[in-house]
Amino acid sequence: MIKLGNFLFRYRNGLFPIFYALLFVPSPTIFANYMVAIILGLLIALTGQWIRAINAGEVLIARGGRNKRIYAEGLVTDGIFKHCRNPLYIGNILLLLGLGIVANSLIFVLFMVPLFAFFYQAIVLAEEYYLTKQFGEAYHRYCQDVNRWIPNFSGLGNTLSRMNFSWRKFLVREYNQSFIWMAAAVLVIAKNLYFYPYNISFEAALPYLIGIFIVLVIAYGVIRYLKKSRRMVY
């Protein structure tokens, strides 16, 4: 598992595009009322994005990894990491689960999401192996106090209120990932409305979907320009 985890960590940025493509594979549906699927799926995906935002916008926390290898200069145990050891990965899994529900794809939710979670389990085991060697007893004590996957919500409100959150840092770090999953949601909704006889008219929804997609593209372009021109840095 550790070898698999190291391999997946190296190529983890390619996991999302592959799984996003699988959202468009025909599948039995979950909900007869597609509006339920859209609302529930987006709520779950936005929860995942919120968790990612807490991680990405926290000034004290930097992403792990160097040269596509697991790496950490220090052991981060503050902020959201006091409540769960892998909040970013939980956010990613919720994002994908939410999109699977938006796609109303029974196959995706039953098979692709568990596979995605299994991949992250392998990555986490590889990271834990590295961190144990790097930080020894300090990391071992941290693992005893904080769960790998199940968050401890005790004191979470106090932790969030004390965080030094930076919107600039969040936007610079998350604009690409946020655009991809939101654009995928719009395209999946358009595909489903076009191919399936739901009680929502494709022709009526299309102008709204196009408008949302255009707003996403403009927002992506503006933030990317500000980042590349160094008008928005952190």
- Asked whether residue 55 carries a pLDDT value surpassing 60, the answer given is yes
User: What letter does residue 159 receive in the DSSP assignment?
Assistant: H
pLDDT value of position 165: 78
Q: What is the mean pLDDT of residues 59-88?
A: 71
- How many angstroms separate the CA atoms of 96 and 118, rounded? 13
Cα 61 to its chain centre, rounded Å, is 16
Residue 220 lies in a domain: no
Can you give the CATH number for the domain in which 51 is found? 1.20.120
Residue 31 lies in a domain: yes
pLDDT of 31-42, one tens digit each?
A: 999 999 999 999
- Asked whether residue 227 carries a pLDDT value surpassing 80, the answer given is yes
Number of domains in the chain: 1
Domain extent, residue 55, equals 2-165
Confidence band, pLDDT 50/70/90 cuts, at residue 26: very high
pLDDT of 113-159, one tens digit each?
A: 999 999 999 999 999 988 888 888 888 899 999 999 999 988 888 88
pTM assigned to the model: 0.89
Residue 43 lies in a domain: yes
pLDDT value of position 68: 56
pLDDT value of position 57: 62
Output the CA–CA distances (angstroms, integers) from residue 217 to 33, 178, 179, 188, in the order listed: 29, 11, 8, 16
What tokens appear for 1 in the block?
Answer: 């598992």
Residue 228 lies in a domain: no
Three-state SS across 113-139? HHHHHHHHHHHHHHHHHHHHHHHCHHH
- Kindly report the average pLDDT of the chain as a whole number: 87
pLDDT of 68-81, one tens digit each?
A: 566 666 788 888 88
- How many angstroms separate the CA atoms of 61 and 99, rounded? 27
Residue 191 lies in a domain: no
pLDDT of 166-207, one tens digit each?
A: 888 888 888 898 999 999 999 999 999 998 878 788 999 999
Residue 194 lies in a domain: no
